[in-house]
A and B are shown apart, each in its own frame.
Chain A
């Protein structure tokens, strides 16, 4: 609370922008300082100090996401080397739960942002498409925790998933392994998942939730895949 009073304006601005409450921001700030070892910015190496993260199979992708300019609402593409607290908050704000008082439009935007964030995690070459190769990489990474697994398994799963996506979404993308997403015509993303809020964050169920596109019966497989 103390610092909240000391920098009320700044805090309020942050709160407005990210939607966090000042307590949450404070909590995050403490964590930020802990991670950055009291520096103003966090670098990739700082994330290595989190022991729990070590076992996370998609650890690389998560850390990567923090430095992705697209997620930081910057115009340009590519990666940044270090992020400051504001960026950190921005990333974290993707994981906020949906508020009760949001109207439809806000909800829509909010969901889309979450999906975009996910999409960017899949789309590692920043070209706005998730290719088969990228998808395979994701699956491989997901399965990387297991030493007994052949690479091929992961690949065939990814292939299967792609096929599945392809067979379901023939309407939009045919046979294309790159799931070209339908750009601007933003479908209304729906979420139906459920979950208790672990905290104030929680990205909540995007994938299964994905969406009810007007003309599709069961587009859930598309998931984050098709979102640009």
Chain B
């Protein structure tokens, strides 16, 4: 559709530049269309500026032909032909070229509005309609050039070609969203007729006749709607097209779709994505799409700063902040801060100063660029970009230390960038910069950074507090996380504080508490939403970086661009070398030369720099185009050259990669142990260091903060247990997600719970090492077990989909309970079953996996003591009651059919003892299933759960 618009816009341009009177009669439709982008907050890309910037080409003949809605010269002069041929091939109908003020006659709508019968075709004809328009549009830019455009012929060809590609059109369609966005801020003569005009001509119903006001393009919602009422004078349209109605969301969706499909595409072709980082590919796609749009005569949209900072950036930062590896981050905080603050300052001033020198020496073109402008430029270009860093570093899987150093730097340098940017921008307006201004600027750095953090913390605490009460409305839990974080970001931006730091602070602060409060499904939701948003944002950002490159104005000055690039690299390398030399004096783990190289090399620039540059005001910074060109060059260089070579370099240098293992419970235990140990040692030797204060903070947190922010028992949960819960949940969720369906075998394998006297537990040590075969066997069993767990969880999931919260909670609890038990038994099986029992693989599998099919209880099993869990006391193995349990174990054998059906048993099969604890008593059908839950990690165990005190009422059963 936009082709139409374009054509129109081109056509109208003369109008605009013409005296006001002539310009006036732009159909209202246009205004309506234009306005929409303004009102609509989420138009991702303001393309207006770009299209505006193009000098409007003289309107060639064929243009007018193509415009069905072209403004007729005089209000009265309606050229019916121009309108009526609309659906048919327009190329053939020559029109009087310039019909300046368009006074769309009623004829237009009529022509457009096909009678119902024709209306039926509407959807189909649409592409053809567009096609001619496109075809017409294509030559238009050419026409803008020196040579007069070839008349209709090419247009027709283009139309034909394009007609075949409705999809291409669709993809391109969104290019013009927000065309009107920046209309106001642009110099008037650049106001082309809003592109939507074309659309209005094409599809709208409203007679543009009355549209007198072109100026307030964006302010006529009411009128527009009024028109709609006025127009219908013909047969009631059974089917019509009202593209304008859906245009903005439609185009936004198309852009996003394009982004996603591209992303998808890259991963379908593994050979490409293994060599070239995704970010590069996306930029290339952006370039291509931009080129295509341009080739078609449209002005590609530009990545607008507002859109970028308000909508595209926050998801990425929130994702990074919420899932920030806090421990590594705090452990390296000093290093990160030094790199982020000192390093960025150094880069900015070094680069700014040198560029100033270059400008002074560089000849007539550059002489006018002052020191402040150069410093501003330096501050824009010196910041490492989190989006680019994330995109590249996540692909190369560098080790955590380097990752957090570079990435942390890119996050924290935001404050410096913001301050420097505003500082220099302000200074540029001043006549004179006094020392006071500088001091104030210095102060504002602290205000901006600490203020940002403060805002973030406030919102984080509020979010945590809110999540305390969401237990009854689980559905909206995730929303709180997003909204509060976004509010934090916006609030910080409101005061020109560092929004990025606010976002990170809020994410970091709220996370532990929120996660303790919300359900696991909500947690999964948060995780997926964040990942989804951030990856879409990232994709869009890179694509639009490419598109804007094509779209923007460039002023290429060799001296300036090359020296920028050169000094950027030099500043980065020097900065890293000097700073690491300094930092290494204080670090336990020194940064090796390799590390330094990667840190220096990983200093990628990205869209933030571009957007900041784009924000510059033409009035004060006439050299904006040159700045932008230089910035884009640096971005492309870092993303393409450094981004593409960093992976081979990492391999070449054998930089340590990230270990892909998940964090294990052992790690957690040892980490905690070490933390306490180091705290203890610090205490003993009387040194108040890192660990000492961390310990104090933790204690404070546990004592006061958690009580306020976390609902229920969890607040008392020590970190280890919390971690344990989390892991277990994660596992459960993962299993469910990947799980298959299957019947749950529910027969009891008594032997599997066969007791080894608990007192003999230490005997395990005497267990002889098993042979390789046995190990293999055990592993196989483990695997089998895993599958069963999956099945079990699956059914659990199915069940709880419809369950109410209480049931769900109970379910989870039961599950946990079972897992503990099962683990217990498993352990016993595994580790304590006498060696000879393992002789037969089948047997051992039966025992360990408690697979009922593979194992038939042996006669002698009755002679063996059987462990069952005593309802009253959770210490299962210890409380073996031989007398009672023996029969139970046997009687429990027959699988209960219900369990097969339901998977997780929701009710107590044998409410043997009527205590509250009873709830968790495994019925006979229950205990066997326990066995299946095994994973290496079991459950934290029967801590008293919040629900535990309540009498159990099996819901709905």
What residues make up the interface of A, taking CB atoms closer than 8 Å to B?
27-28, 31, 34-35, 47, 50, 52-53, 55-59, 61-62, 92, 95, 97-98, 100, 118, 121, 129, 131-133, 138-139, 142-143, 145-146, 148-168, 170-171, 173-178, 180, 191-199, 201-208, 210, 217-218, 220-225
Q: A153-B721, A196-B690 are in contact. Are A175 and B827 (CB under 8 A)?
A: no
Please state if A198 and B687 are interface contacts (CB–CB under 8 Å).
yes
Q: Is the CB of A220 within 8 A of B664?
A: yes
Q: Given known contacts A150-B944, A158-B669, A160-B936, what 9 new A-B pairs fall within 8 Å (CB)?
A: A58-B677, A143-B721, A159-B824, A160-B724, A176-B764, A198-B687, A208-B667, A222-B666, A225-B666
What's the Cα separation between A180 and B764 when bound, in Å?
12
Closest 7 CB pairs of A and B: A198-B689, A207-B670, A177-B764, A153-B941, A221-B666, A178-B765, A164-B936
Q: Interface segment, B169-177, B289-297, B326-334, B744-752?
A: B326-334
Enumerate chain A residues within 8 angstroms of B677, measured Cβ to Cβ.
58, 61-62, 118, 121, 203
Knowing A58-B673, A176-B765, A178-B765, the reply to whether A150 touches B874 (Cβ < 8 A) is yes
Looking at the assembled complex, report how far the CB atom of A226 sits from the nearest CB atom of chain B, in whole angstroms. 11
Given the contacts A142-B673, A159-B827, A163-B936, A198 and B775 also touching, CB distance less than 8 Å = no
Considering the complex, which residues of chain B in the window 102-132 have a beta carbon less than 8 Å from any beta carbon of chain A? Answer: none
Contacts of A192 in B (CB 8 A): 399-401, 656, 659
Q: Is the CB of A152 within 8 A of B941?
A: yes
B656 / chain A contacts, CB cutoff of 8 Å: 192
Q: Which residues of A contact B875 (CB under 8 A)?
A: 151-152
A206 CB contacts on chain B under 8 angstroms: 670, 674
Q: Given A160-B665, A163-B937, A195-B331, are A62 and B684 neighbors across the interface (CB < 8 Å)?
A: yes
| B193 smallest CB distance to A (angstroms) | 60
Complex CA distance for A61 and B682, rounded to whole angstroms: 15
- Alpha-carbon separation in the docked complex, A53 to B661 (Å): 34
B680:A149 contact, CB within 8 angstroms: no
By the criterion of a CB under 8 Å from any partner CB, how many residues of chain B are at the interface? 84
Q: Which residues of A sit under 8 angstroms from B691, Cβ to Cβ? A: 198
Asked if B941 and A174 sit within 8 Å, CB to CB, the answer is no
Whole-angstrom distance from the CB of A202 to the nearest CB of chain B?
5
Contact of A171 among B400, B667, B775, B936 (CB under 8 A): B775
Q: Does B364 contact A (CB under 8 A)?
A: no
B521 part of interface (Cβ distance < 8 Å) = no
Query: Could you give, for residues 815-852 of chain B, a 1 whenever the CB lies within 8 Å of some chain A CB and a 0 otherwise?
Result: 00000100110110011000000000000000000000
Q: Contacts A138-B669, A201-B685 given: A196-B823 contact, CB under 8 Å? A: no
Given A142-B669, A177-B767, A223-B670, A98 and B775 touching (CB < 8 A)?
no
Q: Which of A34, A55, A224 contacts B670 (CB 8 A)?
A: A224
Q: Is B697 an interface residue (CB 8 A)?
A: no
A108 CA / B622 CA spacing, docked (Å):
61
Contact B669 A161 (CB under 8 A): yes
Asked if residues B940 and A157 are in contact (CB atoms below 8 Å), the reply is: yes
Contact A220 B685 (CB under 8 A): no
Point out the residues of chain A lying under 8 angstroms from B671, CB to CB.
207-208
Provide 9 A-B residue pairs closer than 8 Å at the C-beta atoms, listed in order of the A residue: A31-B686, A52-B679, A118-B674, A143-B718, A153-B943, A166-B830, A195-B589, A199-B687, A205-B674
Among A52, A162, A195, A223, point to the contact of B588 (Cβ < 8 A).
A195
A223 with B684: CB separation less than 8 A: no
Bound Cα distance from A55 to B533, whole angstroms: 43
**Interface pair A218/B661, CB less than 8 Å apart:** yes
Q: Is the interface of B mostly helix, strand, loop or mixed?
A: helix
> Smallest Cβ distance from B694 to chain A, in angstroms?
10
Instruction: Assess the A31–B335 pair: CB atoms within 8 A.
Output: no
B939's nearest neighbour on chain A, judged by CB, is A156
In the complex, how many angstroms separate the beta carbon of A31 from the nearest chain B beta carbon? 5
The interface residues of chain B lying within 8 Å CB-to-CB of A210 are 670
Judge if B62 is at the interface, Cβ distance under 8 Å.
no
A160 engages B937 (CB within 8 Å): yes
CB <8 Å contact, A28 and B588 = no
Bound form: Cα–Cα A152–B873 in Å: 10
Residue in chain A with minimal CB distance to B684: A50
User: Whose C-beta in chain B lies nearest to the C-beta of A92?
Assistant: B685
By a CB distance below 8 angstroms, the chain A residues around B589 are: 98, 191, 193-195, 204-205
Q: Which residue of A lies closest to B666 (CB)?
A: A221
The reply to whether B680 and A164 form a contact with Cβ atoms under 8 Å apart is: no
* Smallest CB gap from A148: residue in B: B716
**From B679, B690, B765, B778, residue with most partner A Cβ within 10 Å:** B765
Contacts of A138 in B (CB 8 A): 669, 673
- Greatest chain B CB density within 10 A among A52, A129, A157, A220 is at A157
Q: Are B823 and A194 in contact (CB under 8 A)?
A: no
A59 CB → nearest B CB, Å: 6
Q: Tell me the residues in window 741-787 of chain B with beta carbons closer than 8 Å to chain A beta carbons.
A: 761-762, 764-765, 767, 769-770, 774-775, 778-779, 782
Q: Give, as a whole number of angstroms, the nearest-CB distance from A162 to chain B.
A: 7
| B245 contacts across to A, CB distance below 8 A | none
Contact pick for B666, options A165, A173, A177, CB 8 Å: A165
Beta-carbon contacts of B651-666 to A below 8 Å, as 1s and 0s? 0000010011100111
Cα–Cα distance between A27 and B506 once the two chains are bound (Å): 41
How far does the Cβ of A132 sit from chain B's closest Cβ, in whole Å?
6
Within residues 673 to 723 of chain B, which ones have a CB less than 8 A from any CB in chain A? 673-674, 676-687, 689-692, 695, 699, 713, 716-718, 720-721
A174 x B774 contact (CB < 8 A): yes
Known contacts A149-B718, A203-B674; is A175 also within 8 Å of B830 by CB?
yes
Quote the shortest CB–CB distance from B243 to chain A (angstroms): 56
Q: Measured between alpha carbons, how far is A168 from B661 in the docked complex, in Å?
A: 11
In the bound complex, do residue B940 and residue A145 qualify as a contact, i.e. CB atoms below 8 Å apart? Answer: no
Q: Which residues of A contact B769 (CB under 8 A)?
A: 173-174, 176, 180
Interfacial chain B residues near A162, Cβ < 8 Å: 827
CB-CB under 8 A from A222, the residues of chain B are 666
Q: In the complex, which residue of chain B has the Cβ closest to the Cβ of A138?
A: B673
A174 touches B588 (CB 8 A): no
Q: Cβ of B588 and Cβ of A157 under 8 Å apart? A: no
CA distance A197 to B331 in the complex (A): 10
Nearest to A203 among chain B residues (CB) is B678
Whether B685 contacts A31 by the Cβ 8 Å rule is yes
B590 in the interface (beta carbon within 8 A) = yes
Closest partner residue, chain A, to B829 (CB atom): A175
| Shortest Cβ gap from B813 to chain A (Å) | 14
Interface residue B229 (Cβ < 8 Å from any Cβ of A): no
A163 with B827: CB separation less than 8 A: yes
B579 → A minimal CB distance (Å): 14
Among residues of A, the one whose C-beta sits closest to the C-beta of B402 is A194
B916 beta carbon closer than 8 Å to chain A: no
With a cutoff of 8 Å between Cβ atoms, the chain B residues found around residue A168 in the complex are 664
Q: What are the interface flags for B309-351 relative to A under an 8 Å C-beta threshold, 1 for contact and 0 otherwise?
A: 0000000000000000000100111110000000000000000
Beta-carbon contact of A160 and B823 below 8 Å? yes
B window 453-500: CB within 8 A of A:
none
B669 and A47: CB pair below 8 A?
A: no
B680/A170 in contact, CB under 8 A? no
Which residues of chain A are near B673, meaning CB under 8 Å?
58, 118, 121, 138, 142, 207
Q: Are B680 and A58 in contact (CB under 8 A)?
A: yes
Let me know if B96 is at the binding interface, CB within 8 A: no
- Assess the B683–A221 pair: CB atoms within 8 A: no
How many whole Å from B732's CB to the nearest CB in chain A? 14
Task: Tell me the complex Cα distance, A221–B874, Å.
Answer: 28
Known: A166-B830, A194-B401, A196-B690. A159 touches B938 (CB 8 A): yes
Contact B670 A156 (CB under 8 A): no
CB distance from A225 to the nearest CB of B (A): 7
When distances are taken between beta carbons in the complex, the residues of chain A under 8 Å from B681 are: 62, 92, 95, 201, 203
Which residues of chain B are near A207, meaning CB under 8 Å? Answer: 666-667, 670-671, 673-674
CB distance B764 to A223 under 8 Å? no
> Residues of B contacting A121 with CB < 8 Å?
673, 677
Task: Kindly list chain B residues whose C-beta atoms are within 8 Å of the C-beta of A180.
Answer: 769
Nearest chain B CB to A113's CB is how many angstroms away?
A: 15
A201 neighbours in B (Cβ, 8 Å)? 681-682, 685, 687
Report if B582 contacts A (CB, 8 A): no
Closest B residue by C-beta to A134 = B762
